[in-house]
């Protein structure tokens, strides 16, 4: 049997000819929560886009597999079908496409024929409740004219509806007030407690440690300048909160010297 | 009412000459349009140049290179059908245009020409000269005609229908006009005239689903009375070469116009759409929303104009048009313009032209949709704000299905 987990080995990637990722090694096991922390510009989002196959991000070396399947050989939709989900930091608007229809198309694409319409509706309403959203969301056009908080809630609604094997949450917490942050935490925790989502592994990309108060991380990795410089348990997030990234940067520089 | 024009004895005269007009009048009589008016109109058609507009240094000319009128037979028949939905008991008139003048001379005289002036227009003049067939709708003052009135045109060969709709003071009506034709070549050159009285309200929906070898040049004009409301929705789906020009004039205080239109030029289709709203009186409002797209070798042009004249104090006008290109060979021009002569008005226009954004495609792909499915969904979504403004879920579904068929070709 193939190795399980979202396995990233020696991953290098560039954007418009500039190398951003300089060799990333990371394994997210099924059912685990990994936090990837780092200051702006450290390459966190590049990792998310490289793994999901954004056409502007060129992987130049290394590998990435999902439960044994080579992700890098697949088109973005095939990566989603393999079980990878990305909660976007800046989700795209798709004017004219209703949220409800979009969710149905996505669910159908990723879990073909598994939910008759009545069950699908029931599921949507349950997930909306967890997110403290109401049904008036469903006929609105995807992210069109949404506030920042609404966009993030829709990302979480999709996460809950699609129940992927591995989910990357790219700065889902940025710009959110406490209520919205709690709703994000509730969604992830409800999914983790469900039969469909108990084995989902998470890579939570964040600048600030506060989201980790709502979603408990098993491991924390610190990324600086396109490389993971240190990893540890949840206590590492507390260090960041207390001392900031500069402390880590100095420590790393000191170690090299 | 069903009126099938009598099968024309195939005339020996082809084209749109004076001899052809002689033959039309000899066969059918002058009908509702006096012979002299027809000959004058024909003379204007021959004299007037093809329409040309210069905007921002660019010349926008009606491309009629594919239009050869030398072979058409003006005695061809037009199938026309209008269903009045049981409204006639309340004084509503829905009848064939040619007999309207004879049977309802007073109503006809009040409505005819109230919104249309063909003097400066080449193809409206042509339509008037050879007018044969069409529809007359009259809604008396104060009558709320809730049941939709359906008008259906199905040209085979050449057809020159005149559609005259008059809605009286305080009256309201809903009209659905459908243009269809089979696979054979046809030529439709028509006039649509809408006359709204004070506080009148009309919802007029046009579903142009002519066959693939159909050519059409349609001139539509509307005039609004005080506080009248016109809600116009136009789906420009069919035809090989279609020119549709809409002009709405608000000469009285407080009118309200909403225009929604979309087209999707695919294959070798060529669509020219023009809308113009003239605000000539105070507190008049208009909102125009247009979605145009091209795929294959489709060609499209949208020319949108809002004119706010000096007297139009407090006018409020918006014009929003977006164009989507789905292939390298498709071409869509979108040329909106505002001409404002009054100070105290609100006016907005916005326009975009472009391809589907890669970010949108990627976003949908990360949700499991294949690239073609994502593009299809986004393209359909592009039209949706326009489709949402058409009445009735059955019609909206038909329009969406027609767009899907074009996308899948």
Q: What ipTM score was computed for the predicted complex, to two decimals?
A: 0.96
CA A4 centroid distance within chain: 18
Number of domains in chain B: 1
Residues of chain B with pLDDT > 70: what percent? Answer: 94
Q: What share of chain A is helix, strand, coil (3-state, %, to 5)?
A: 40, 30, 30
Residue whose entry in the numeric block shows the structure tokens 């921002």 = B56
- Among B368, B370, B383, most A C-beta atoms within 10 A, so best to mutate, is B368
| φ/ψ (deg, to 5) at A38 | 175, 160
* pLDDT band at B59; cut points 50, 70, 90: low
pLDDT of residue A131: 87
pLDDT of residue B83: 80
DSSP code for A91: P
* pLDDT band at B25; cut points 50, 70, 90: very high
pLDDT of residue A247: 86
Pairwise CB contact (< 8 Å): A106 & B368: yes
Distance from CA of B271 to the nearest CA of A (A): 23
Pairwise CB contact (< 8 Å): A77 & B369: yes
Residue pLDDT, tens place only, A123-170: 999 999 988 889 999 999 999 999 999 999 999 999 999 999 999 999
Candidates A80, A97, A158; nearest CB to B365 = A80
Pairwise CB contact (< 8 Å): B368 & A162: yes
Is A211 in the B-facing interface, judged by CB distances under 8 Å?
no
| Token representation of residue A248 | 């880590």
Distance from CA of A111 to the nearest CA of B (A): 9
pLDDT of residue B7: 45
Helices A99-110, A117-130: axis angle to 10 degrees equals 110
Contact (Cβ atoms closer than 8 angstroms) between residue A154 and residue A137: yes
Residue pLDDT, tens place only, B122-139: 999 999 999 999 999 999
Pairwise CB contact (< 8 Å): B370 & A110: no
Contact (Cβ atoms closer than 8 angstroms) between residue A124 and residue A162: no
DSSP code for B104: S
Burial of B89 (0-12, 13-18, 19+ CB in 10 A): exposed
Distance from CA of B377 to the nearest CA of A (A): 7
Pairwise CB contact (< 8 Å): A88 & B363: yes
Distance between CA atoms of residues B174 and B149, nearest Å: 6
Number of helices and strands (H, E) in chain B? 8, 22
One-character DSSP codes across B377-393: HHHHHHHHHHHTTSS-H
Distance between CA atoms of residues B368 and A124, nearest Å: 18
Distance from CA of B8 to the nearest CA of A (A): 47
pLDDT of residue B5: 43
Size of interface A-B (CB pairs under 8 A): 82
Q: How far is CA B66 from CA B25, B121, B179, B190, in A?
A: 28, 20, 21, 18
In chain A, what residues touch B373 (CB-CB under 8 Å)?
105, 109
> Is residue B378 included in any domain, yes or no?
no
> Is residue B405 included in any domain, yes or no?
no
Beta bridge partners of A231: A221
Contact (Cβ atoms closer than 8 angstroms) between residue B176 and residue B151: yes
Residue pLDDT, tens place only, A18-63: 999 999 999 999 999 999 999 999 999 999 999 999 999 999 999 9
Residue whose entry in the numeric block shows the structure tokens 């592009």 = B382
The three-state secondary structure class of B20 is: helix
Contact (Cβ atoms closer than 8 angstroms) between residue B118 and residue B191: yes
Candidates A56, A86, A141; nearest CB to B366 = A86
Query: What is the spatial order of strands in the sheet that B78-83 belongs to?
Result: B2-4, B78-83, B144-155, B172-180, B201-209, B229-236, B256-265, B285-294, B316-325, B346-354
Distant-in-sequence, close-in-space partners of B397: CB < 8 Å, separation ≥ 6: none
pLDDT of residue B1: 42
User: Which residue in A has a C-alpha nearest to residue B322's C-alpha?
Assistant: A95
> Is residue B361 included in any domain, yes or no?
no
Q: List all residues of chain A from 33 to 52 with a beta carbon under 8 Å from chain B.
A: 52
Average pLDDT over residues B324-344: 92
- Among B264, B360, B366, B371, most A C-beta atoms within 10 A, so best to mutate, is B366
Residue pLDDT, tens place only, B350-364: 889 999 999 999 999
* pLDDT of residue A256 exceeding 70: no
Helix ranges (H only) for A90-234 are 99-110, 117-130, 148-162, 178-193
Contact (Cβ atoms closer than 8 angstroms) between residue A19 and residue A226: yes
Q: Find the radius of gyration of the CA atoms of chain B.
A: 21
One-character DSSP codes across B184-204: S-EEEEEEEEEEE-TT-EEEE
- CA nearest B51: which of B334, B318, B244? B244
| Token representation of residue A71 | 């992700």
Least confident range from A85-99, A136-150, B9-23, B239-253: namely B9-23
Distance between CA atoms of residues A78 and A90, nearest Å: 22
Q: If residue B397 lies in a helix (H) or strand (E), which one and from where to where?
A: helix B393-408
> Is residue B128 included in any domain, yes or no?
yes
One-character DSSP codes across A172-211: TTTT--HHHHHHHHHHHHHHHHSTTTTT-EEEEEESSGGG
Pairwise CB contact (< 8 Å): B378 & A53: no
pLDDT of residue B61: 66
Average pLDDT, chain B: 92
> Is residue B254 included in any domain, yes or no?
yes
B255: Cα within 13 Å, side-chain hemisphere: 31
Distance between CA atoms of residues B121 and B48, nearest Å: 7
Is A57 in the B-facing interface, judged by CB distances under 8 Å?
no
Distance from CA of B290 to the nearest CA of A (A): 14
Distant-in-sequence, close-in-space partners of B180: CB < 8 Å, separation ≥ 6: B152, B153, B154, B209, B210, B211, B238
Distance between CA atoms of residues B70 and B78, nearest Å: 19
Contact (Cβ atoms closer than 8 angstroms) between residue B236 and residue B260: no
Pairwise CB contact (< 8 Å): A97 & B377: yes
Distance between CA atoms of residues A148 and A176, nearest Å: 8
User: Which residue in B has a C-alpha nearest to residue A105's C-alpha?
Assistant: B369
The three-state secondary structure class of B375 is: helix
Residues of chain A with pLDDT > 70: what percent? Answer: 98
Average pLDDT over residues B38-51: 93
Range of the domain at B131: 2-354+391-400
Q: List all residues of chain A from 160 to 179 with a beta carbon under 8 Å from chain B.
A: 162
pLDDT of residue B60: 64
| φ/ψ (deg, to 5) at A251 | -60, -45
Pairwise CB contact (< 8 Å): A94 & B381: yes
- Among A48, A86, A92, A113, most B C-beta atoms within 10 A, so best to mutate, is A92
Residues in chain B: 409
Average pLDDT over residues A84-98: 97
| Token representation of residue A1 | 């049997």
- CA nearest B207: which of B243, B186, B232? B232
pLDDT of residue B6: 44
Which residue did the predictor score with more confidence, B3 or A161? Answer: A161
Average pLDDT over residues B182-186: 92
In chain A, what residues touch B262 (CB-CB under 8 Å)?
none
Distance between CA atoms of residues B46 and B62, nearest Å: 16
Question: How many Cβ atoms sit within 10 Å of the Cβ of residue B119?
Answer: 12
Distance between CA atoms of residues A153 and A135, nearest Å: 13
| Token representation of residue A242 | 């207390």
Pairwise CB contact (< 8 Å): B368 & A77: yes
pLDDT of residue B57: 65
Pairwise CB contact (< 8 Å): A94 & B383: no
Residue pLDDT, tens place only, B236-291: 999 999 999 999 999 999 999 999 999 999 999 999 999 999 999 999 999 999 99
Distance from CA of B205 to the nearest CA of A (A): 21
Q: What share of chain B is helix, strand, coil (3-state, %, to 5)?
A: 25, 45, 35
Strand B256-265 vs strand B285-294: parallel, antiparallel, or unpaired? parallel
pTM over 0.80: yes
- Among A50, A56, A57, A77, most B C-beta atoms within 10 A, so best to mutate, is A77
pLDDT of residue A49: 98
Strand B157-159 vs strand B186-196: parallel, antiparallel, or unpaired? parallel
* pLDDT band at B93; cut points 50, 70, 90: very high
Contact (Cβ atoms closer than 8 angstroms) between residue B316 and residue B277: no
| Token representation of residue B252 | 């009285």
pLDDT of residue B190: 97
User: Which residue in B has a C-alpha nearest to residue A163's C-alpha?
Assistant: B367
* pLDDT band at B90; cut points 50, 70, 90: confident
């Amino acid at each position: 049997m193939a190795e399980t987990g979202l396995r990233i080995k020696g991953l290098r990637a560039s954007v418009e000819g500039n190398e951003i990722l300089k060799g990333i090694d990371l394994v997210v096991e099924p059912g685990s929560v990994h936090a990837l922390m780092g200051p702006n510009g450290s390459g966190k989002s590049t990792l998310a886009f490289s793994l999901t196959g954004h056409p502007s991000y060129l992987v130049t070396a290394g590998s990435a597999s999902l439960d044994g399947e080579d992700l890098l050989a697949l088109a973005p939709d095939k990566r989603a079908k393999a079980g990878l989900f990305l909660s976007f930091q800046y989700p795209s608007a798709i004017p004219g496409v209703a949220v409800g229809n979009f969710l149905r198309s996505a669910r159908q694409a990723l879990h073909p024929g598994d939910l008759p319409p009545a069950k699908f509706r029931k599921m949507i309403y349950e997930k909306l409740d967890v997110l403290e959203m109401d049904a008036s969301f469903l006929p609105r056009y995807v992210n069109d004219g949404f506030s920042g908080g609404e966009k993030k809630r829709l990302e979480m609604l999709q996460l809950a509806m699609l129940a992927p094997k591995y989910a990357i949450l790219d700065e889902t917490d940025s710009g959110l007030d406490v209520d919205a942050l709690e709703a994000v935490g509730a969604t992830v925790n409800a999914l983790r407690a469900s039969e469909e989502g108990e084995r989902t592994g998470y890579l939570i990309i964040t600048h600030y440690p506060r989201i980790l108060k709502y979603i408990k991380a098993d491991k924390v990795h610190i990324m600086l300048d396109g490389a993971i410089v240190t990893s540890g348990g949840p206590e590492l997030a507390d260090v960041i909160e207390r001392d900031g990234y500069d402390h880590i940067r100095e420590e790393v520089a000191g170690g090299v010297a | 009412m069903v009126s099938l024009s009598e099968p024309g004895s195939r005339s020996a005269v082809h084209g749109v000459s004076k001899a052809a007009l002689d033959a039309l009048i000899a066969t059918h009589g002058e009908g509702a349009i006096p012979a002299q008016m027809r000959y004058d109109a024909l003379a204007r058609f021959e004299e007037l140049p093809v329409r040309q507009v210069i905007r921002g240094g660019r010349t926008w000319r009606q491309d009629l290179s594919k239009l050869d009128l030398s072979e058409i037979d003006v005695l061809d028949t037009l199938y026309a059908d209008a269903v009045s939905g049981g409204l006639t008991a309340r004084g509503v008139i829905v009848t064939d245009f040619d007999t309207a003048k004879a049977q309802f001379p007073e109503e006809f005289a009040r409505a005819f020409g109230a919104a249309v002036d063909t003097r400066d227009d080449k193809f409206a003049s042509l339509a008037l000269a050879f007018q044969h067939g069409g529809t007359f709708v009259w809604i008396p003052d104060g009558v709320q005609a809730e049941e939709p009135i359906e008008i259906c045109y199905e040209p085979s060969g050449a057809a020159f229908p005149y559609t005259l709709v008059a809605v009286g003071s305080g009256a309201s009506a809903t009209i659905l006009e459908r243009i269809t034709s089979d696979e054979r070549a046809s030529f439709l050159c028509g006039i649509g005239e809408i006359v709204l009285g004070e506080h009148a309200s009309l919802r007029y929906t046009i579903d142009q689903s002519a066959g693939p070898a159909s050519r059409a040049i349609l001139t539509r004009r509307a005039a609004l009375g005080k506080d009248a409301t016109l809600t116009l929705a136009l789906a420009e789906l069919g035809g090989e070469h279609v020119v549709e020009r809409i002009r709405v004039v608000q000469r009285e205080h407080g009118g309200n116009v909403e225009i929604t239109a979309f087209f999707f030029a695919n294959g070798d289709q060529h669509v020219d759409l023009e809308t113009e709203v003239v605000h000539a009186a105070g507190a008049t409002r208009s909102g125009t929303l247009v979605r145009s797209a091209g795929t294959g070798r489709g060609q499209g042009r949208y020319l949108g104009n809002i004119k706010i004249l000096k007297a139009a104090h407090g006018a409020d006008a918006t014009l929003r048009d977006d164009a989507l290109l789905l292939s390298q060979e498709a071409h869509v021009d979108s040329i909106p313009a505002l001409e404002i002569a009054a100070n105290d008005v609100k006016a907005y226009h916005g326009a975009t032209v472009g391809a589907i954004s890669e970010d949108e495609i990627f976003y949908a792909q990360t949700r499991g949709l294949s690239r073609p499915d994502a593009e299809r969904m986004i393209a359909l979504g592009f039209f949706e704000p326009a489709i949402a403004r058409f009445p009735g879920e059955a019609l909206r579904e038909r329009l969406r299905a027609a767009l899907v068929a074009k996308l899948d070709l």
